[in-house]
Amino acid sequence: METMPAKTLKVSKMAETLIGSEIIKLAGEVKARMARGEEVYNLTIGDFDPKVFPIPEGLLNDIVQAYRNGETNYPPANGMAPLREAVSAFLLRRQGLAYDPESILISGGARPIIYAIYSTLVDAGDRIVYPVPSWNNNHYTHLSQGRGLALQTRPEDGFMPTAALLEPHLKGTSLLALCSPLNPTGTTLKPQALAEICDLVLAENARRGPDEKPLYMIYDQIYWTLTFGQTEHADPVTLRPEMRDYTLFVDGMSKAFAATGVRVGWGFGPPAIIAKMRAILSHVGAWAPKAEQVASAHYLNRNQEVDRDIDAMKAEVEARLVGLYEGFNNMTAAGFPVRVIAPEGAIYLTVSFDLRGKTTASGKVLETMGDVTQFLLEEAKLAIVPFTAFGSPSDSPWYRLSVGTVRHEEVGKILAHVEKALAQLR
């Protein structure tokens, strides 16, 4: 019997051209190596190993109790009122931001909030400006059918955008996407730099006519509780209160409490826009589970406990980041082709391995950054994410190291493996 050729199934152009997460793909390859028993220090995914960073015990107990109390039906589309009230109080107490519960939207983690912001503010063909390296703005631009303009930042600026970089591109732009502390770099927008950017946004909106859509800013501050040393988190509305009408915040519990799987995120901003975002997410069904919402409300209202847990989390993350930072700095001082940027926030360290042109002990020449990544994985047992996954050029020597799975005792081992691998190069 003659076999009929397989039928090609057509899908939307958006789906056809959507690319997967480069980070998840790399992490999958690393996990396959580990499953084969290979020694690998996996610093790829921006997540936490629960055995290393468990969620706070009080939050865990609240979640268990909420399930025992039968909190398992649908929550309201905008989130449980007690949780929105608790988030409102948390933001005011910890950050000095006054947003009432109607200005807050709860979702299943921060990603639905980002999706809802793009879907609410971006029409097909609208321009979205975002600095790179940055996390996933290219994908959300694609999903919203906008036109992305990725602006390359510089290591001397901590890979953060400046007003001078952004100013020529804001006319005609619908959305400016910023993140601080930044994924992937672990650096932050300083108050003066952010204030200058806010002034540009305000000036551009003053220029636009009453019938024109404003220039909005999405401000992803999901890592804001994790800042280190003398670094203080800055936000647009505190610096320039007039930005309140144009700023959509992305936030949640994921990073502050190592609660990525708990899936409780929130966004806040102008109530009229939050209402439209709520309507979109109500059709998507992207709410956080009710039991986790009830538990999070109870937990966030225990101020002393929350402060203690955040301080403990910061100390654990900072110790790992500083340990790695000092170790790589020592390698730089010893003449190895390594550069590292001081960590300021989040769970990431930015390191440059400028190894192209070097020859390994086996005689292989590292010609591309792909070769360098593979060398670090095979010889240094180090799995990390190149900045190319965040929009940087293919020849960028910079990498993101995530410490969410790193134990204290592994810091020295990681550094020793890297130095041994670098020492063989010529």
pLDDT of residue 83: 98
CA distance 173 to 215: 6
Q: Of 355, 328, 349, 337, nearest to 417 (Cα)?
A: 328
Token pair in block for residue 135: 């996390």
CA distance 114 to 151: 20
- Which residue do the tokens 């225990």 mark? 302
Is the separation of the CB atoms in 400 and 384 below 8 Å?
yes
Is the separation of the CB atoms in 250 and 221 below 8 Å?
yes
- Name the band, by pLDDT with cuts 50, 70 and 90, for residue 243: very high
Note the CATH architecture for domain 57-303: 3-Layer(aba) Sandwich (3.40)
* Secondary structure string (H, E, C) spanning the chain: CCCCCCCCCCCCHHHHHCCCCHHHHHHHHHHHHHHCCCCCEECCCCCCCCCCCCCCHHHHHHHHHHHHCCCCCCCCCCCCHHHHHHHHHHHHHHHCCCCCHHHEEEECCCHHHHHHHHHHHCCCCCEEEEEECCCCHHHHHHHCCCEEEEEECCHHHCCCCCHHHHHHHCCCEEEEEEECCCCCCCCCCCHHHHHHHHHHHHHHHHHCCCCCCCCEEEEECCCCCCECCCCCCCCHHHHCHHHHHCEEEEEECCCCCCCCCCCCEEEECCHHHHHHHHHHHHHHCCCCCHHHHHHHHHHHCCHHHHHHHHHHHHHHHHHHHHHHHHHHHHHHHCCCCEEEECCCECCEEEEEECCCCCECCCCCECCCHHHHHHHHHHHCCEECEEHHHHCCCCCCCEEEEECCCCCCCHHHHHHHHHHHHHHCCC
Q: pTM for this one?
A: 0.95
pLDDT tens per residue, range 2-28 = 666 667 788 998 999 988 777 777 777
* For range 230-254, the mean pLDDT: 98
Whether 13-53+308-423 shares its CATH topology with 57-303 is answered no
Domain chopping of the chain, boundaries:
13-53+308-423, 57-303
CB atoms within 10 A of CB 58: 17
Q: What is the CATH number of domain 13-53+308-423?
A: 3.90.1150.10
- Name the band, by pLDDT with cuts 50, 70 and 90, for residue 301: very high
- Name the band, by pLDDT with cuts 50, 70 and 90, for residue 38: confident
Q: Of 39, 224, 220, nearest to 134 (Cα)?
A: 220
pLDDT tens per residue, range 104-138 = 999 999 999 999 999 999 999 999 999 999 999 99
Percent of the chain with pLDDT over 90: 92
- Which residue do the tokens 């930042």 mark? 153
- Name the band, by pLDDT with cuts 50, 70 and 90, for residue 295: very high
CA distance 121 to 129: 13
Answer whether residue 1 shows pLDDT above 60: no
pLDDT of residue 23: 76
- Name the band, by pLDDT with cuts 50, 70 and 90, for residue 421: very high
* For range 213-224, the mean pLDDT: 98
Answer whether residue 211 shows pLDDT above 70: yes
Cβ burial 102-114 (10 Å sphere, 16+ → b, else e): ebbbbbbbbbbbb
What's the chain's average pLDDT?
A: 96
Is the separation of the CB atoms in 27 and 373 below 8 Å?
no
